[in-house]
Structure 1
Amino acid sequence: MIQFINVVKKYPNGTTALNNINLRIERGEFVAVIGLSGAGKSTLIRCINRMHDISGGKIIVDRVDVSKLKGQHIRKFRRKIGMIFQSFNLVTRTTVINNVLVSFVPDLPMWRKIIGIFTKEQKIKALEALDKVGILDKAFVRVDQLSGGQQQRVALARTLAQNPDIILADEPIASLDPVTARIVMDDFKKINKEMNISVIMNIHHVEIALEYADRIIGIRKGEVVFDGETSKVTQEILQDIYGGKWDVEKEAIEEQAAYV
């Protein structure tokens, strides 16, 4: 369970990215966070795993007050939260399986970290994670030989290998074409439903969010202006989330998709 209690996030330049956020996300939910660029979507999800520290309020994850964690306790906490980025964050000059094995580095004794030796069990887990996202056959292929969609699935497999309870995804399909985007979203949905892993996703593609997520959180100027089931989202609600600019935003999204 993830709970935001009166959460505020202010950046050093004075910008208020989050203003009095109150949310409760249960285990196993698939939540899409939508809104204009700069609305606070990325900040919201990055506060959950302490990539950003909050300025006020509390974030509770599985009964743990995230803001009070320090040192090794933060590192241990983050092991249960996977993070997926738009840019994949892979080492492209090595193999797929080596990228997945990176997820085990924090668990290795120092001598294994230095020389990069992984156990048989860790290698099996890495291969199983690749199998779950349908790219086991690419295990020994260099990452720079893969398509963008395949690289994102490697990133997802790397996250799965650490056995997370929660996956945070920051615009994971923004650089993918519409067909590939849906393939990756199918993987997220499968993992969410079959493994009961919570997925909280910041996503620009609203139609895909409505197709895959169970719940939509709409952010405008750092505040939650909608929080409800996907089926409850109407054109009027989208206009409210996007500050009356939904039609313009929709055109921009469609134009971007045409050039990916």
Structure 2
Amino acid sequence: MIKFQGVHKEYDNGFVALKDIDLTIEQGEFVAVIGLSGAGKSTLIRCINRMHDISSGSLMVDDVDVSKLRGKEIRNLRRRIGMIFQSFNLVSRISSLKNVLVSFVPEMPFWRKIFGLYTKEQKIKALEALDRMNILDKAFIRVDQLSGGQQQRVALARTLAQKPSIILADEPVASLDPVTATQVMKDFQKINEELNMTIIINIHHVDLALEYATRVVGIRSGEIVYDGPSSEVTKEILEHIYNGKLEEELSAN
């Protein structure tokens, strides 16, 4: 479970990104965070795995106060929380399989890291993750020879291989064409349903958010202005979230 209580985030330049956020997300939910650029969407999800520190309030992940973690404790937290980025964060000159195997590096003995020696069990887990994403046939293909959608699936497989309980996704379909973006959202939905994994996705594509996520959190100027089932989101609610700039947002996507 993830629980924000009175969370406030102010950057060093004085910009207030989050204002007194109260939010509880249960295990197994699929949550889409929507709102205008600069509304605080990325900041919200990046606080969960301590990519950003909160300024005040309390942020709990499975009854652990994230803000109080230090050093190795933060690294252990991040092992349980997968992170998917818009840019995929893959090593383009190596194969899909080797990119997935990278997920095991933090837990490997130093000598194995130096020589890149992975165990048979790790290789099997990596291949299983690629298979789950229907991309096993690309295991030995260099990532720079894959399409954008295939690269995002490799990134998802790498995250699945570390067996997290939570996946955070920061604009994972922003650089993809509409057909590929839809397929990637279906992949997230499949992971959520089959593995009961919590998915929290920051997304600009309103239509995809409403179709695939079960819950929508709308943020405007650092405040939550809507939190409820995606099925209950109306055009009026969207206009409120987007501060009257809904059509502008839709045309941009």
Q: TM-score, normalised by structure 2?
A: 0.99
Q: 2:215 aligns to what?
A: 215
TM-superposition CA deviations, 1:15-52 (whole Å, max 9, x none): 00000000000000000000000000000000000000
Q: Following TM superposition, by how much is the alpha carbon of 1:250 offset from its aligned partner in structure 2, in angstroms?
A: 1.4
**C-alpha RMSD of the superposition:** 0.5
Superposition map of 1:161-200 within 5 A: 161-200=161-200
What displacement does 1:249 show? Answer: 1.4
| Matched letter for residue 109 of structure 1 | P
Deviation of residue 147 (structure 1)? 0.2
Aligned to 2:42: 42
Determine the structure 2 residue equivalent to 1:6: 6
Which residues of structure 2 form unaligned runs of 5+?
none
Q: How many residues align?
A: 253
Task: Give 3-state SS (helix, strand or coil) of 2:168's partner.
Answer: strand
Tell me how far apart the structure 2 counterparts of residues 227 and 40 of structure 1 sit (CA, whole Å): 15
Paired position in structure 2 for 1:246: 246
Query: What displacement does 1:119 show?
Result: 0.1
CA distance in 2, matches of 1:120, 1:238: 49
Residue 125 (structure 2) aligns with: 125
Please give the per-residue CA displacement for 1:135-168, whole angstroms capped at 9, x wherever unaligned.
0000000000000000000000000000000000
Alignment of 1:25-36 (within 5 A): 25-36=25-36
Alignment partners' CA distance in 1, 2:36 and 2:192:
26
Following superposition, the deviation at residue 77 of structure 1 comes to: 1.1
Distance in 1 between the 2:90 and 2:241 partners?
33
How far apart, CA to CA, are the structure 2 residues paired with 1:211 and 1:26?
20
State the percentage of identical aligned residues.
71
The offset of 1:71, in angstroms, is: 0.9
Distance 2:24 2:194 in 1: 22
Cα distance, 1:248 vs structure 2: 1.7
Map 1:89-104 onto structure 2 (within 5 A).
89-104=89-104
> Map of 1:16-165 to 2, 5 A cutoff?
16-165=16-165
- String of CA shifts for 1:189-215, please: whole Å, max 9, x gaps: 000000000000000000000000000
Secondary structure of the structure 2 residue equivalent to 1:97: helix
**What is the one-letter code of the residue matched to 1:115?**
F
Residues of 1 paired with 2:51 and 2:166: CA distance?
15
CA positional deviation for 1:129: 0.2
Q: Tell me how far 1:244 sits from its aligned partner.
A: 0.9
- Alpha-carbon distance in 1 for matches of 2:17, 2:123: 41
* Structure 1, unpaired ranges of 5+: 254-260
1:247 shift after superposition: 1.6
Structure 1 runs (4+) greater than 4 angstroms displaced: none
